[in-house]
Amino acid sequence: MQSWIMQHWVVLGAGSEMARPFLRRLAGEGASLFLAGRNLADLETLAQDLRLRGAAAAEVVAFDARDSAGYPALVARLAACEGVLNAASFVGAMPDQAAIDADPGLIAGVIADNFTGPATFLSLLAPVLEARGAGVVVGIGSVAGDRGRIGNYVYGAAKAGFATYLSGLRNRLGRRGVQVMTVKPGPVATRMTAGMTLPFMTTPEAVAEDIAQGIAKRRNVIYTARIWGPVMRVIRAIPEPIFKKLSI
């Protein structure tokens, strides 16, 4: 990035465990940060820490993936900033599939948190990024979106929808000089995965490093840990009659 131009980042789901190491990196680079999320008290504490780490500014803003009423005002606030605008979405929720099977009413929230909420916000922000002809958009998808699996197919469907949205947004904004990168993590060691034994587990810090490298290399899609790229190619290639019999 061009260090002599002020970099502004709005980070949706800023309080998530995956977002925090990425935010610390941005603070160390002197970026101006907008921490968007639901738990404003927690985000205020995080903002104070990021200012101490070197952030030019760290402002807390309300963001609820299930309520888009406040999005236009936030986009207007961002549009008033001079410099390069960037956005990252770490928003997501992954209820147990069994809970969703027992109460399909949970599906709407899963879709909003993982897909329609961040997609709606990014769609409102897109014209601002187009007009400036610069910037980065980072969207957190999941390897779960690469193929529907019995253990988390509603979550996977939401992440698949978001990945397809980001692909189209990349096609649109890439023509105007804006990088749009889809990040597909496998299992990450957070509270969401606590107590689980999962293959190729990575850490939030490793995810942040992979995102930073992906931005620097102007990648379109990255997997983290990187081994998930070839793993998911194999899983996608399994014929459906065989895949239906597998418990993966």
- What residues are annotated to the active site? 155
Q: Which of 143, 140, 218, 212 is nearest to 173 (CA)?
A: 218
Contact criterion met (CB below 8 Å) for 156 and 148: yes
C-alpha neighbours within 13 Å on the C-beta side of residue 70: 11
Beta bridge partners of 223: 184
* Beta sheet of 84-89, edge-to-edge order: 57-62, 32-37, 7-12, 84-89, 136-140, 179-185, 221-224
Q: Which residues are CB-neighbours of 246 under 8 A, at least 6 positions away?
A: 238
